[in-house]
């Protein structure tokens, strides 16, 4: 069994606030794209809010025209600081994008990235939505997924 990480290491960075959006990270940043095929079994984030508030990790696939919803983890209640190794079970393919839905008002750590590094859509997205319907900006959240994959012997 091998472990692959994708996303940014959760850390105390700059603070972003809001709520009620599904946010896809990394359409233009390879660090936020799954490095290979496997099962995402856990994820981590860093919160600037004392909390608690509810979050869900999600995975989407870019098919060129749409962001295709692949799956999501269970609702997690998070508090301030590092929230590490929260469980999920989402099959991923190379290039899939990590995303998050946060209900209510929150403060999550983020970093300024290249333009187009984040796409967000109002609500808890669980369907395929055309890419043209998402709002795009230049921020990325401190969010990381852990993928487990089977390594076959040579």
CA distance 138 to 132: 16
Taking all residues of the chain, what is their mean pLDDT, rounded to a whole number?
78
Percent with pLDDT over 90 in the chain: 26
Domain boundaries, the chain: 2-149
Please give the pLDDT value at position 30.
73
The DSSP code sequence of 25-52 is E-TT-GGGB-SSSEEEEEEEEEESS---
What is the per-residue pLDDT across 42-92, written as a single tens digit (0 to 9) for each?
888 877 667 788 889 999 999 999 999 999 999 998 887 777 788 999 999
pTM of the model: 0.83
Of 2.60.120, 3.30.70, 2.60.40, 1.10.3470, which CATH number belongs to 2-149? 2.60.120
């Amino acid at each position: 069994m091998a472990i692959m990480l994708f996303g940014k290491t959760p850390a105390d960075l700059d603070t972003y606030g809001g709520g009620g959006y599904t946010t896809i990270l990394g359409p233009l940043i390879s660090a936020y794209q799954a490095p290979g095929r496997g099962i995402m079994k856990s994820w981590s984030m860093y919160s600037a809010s004392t909390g608690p508030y509810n979050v869900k990790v999600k995975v989407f696939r870019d098919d060129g025209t749409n962001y295709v919803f692949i799956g999501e983890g269970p609702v997690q209640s998070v508090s301030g600081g590092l929230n590490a190794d929260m469980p999920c079970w989402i099959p991923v393919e190379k290039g899939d994008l990590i995303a998050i839905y946060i209900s209510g008002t929150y403060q999550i750590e983020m970093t300024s990235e290249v333009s187009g590094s984040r796409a967000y859509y109002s609500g808890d997205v669980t369907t395929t939505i055309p890419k043209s319907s998402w709002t795009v900006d230049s921020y990325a959240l401190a969010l990381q997924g852990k993928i487990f994959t089977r390594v076959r012997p040579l």
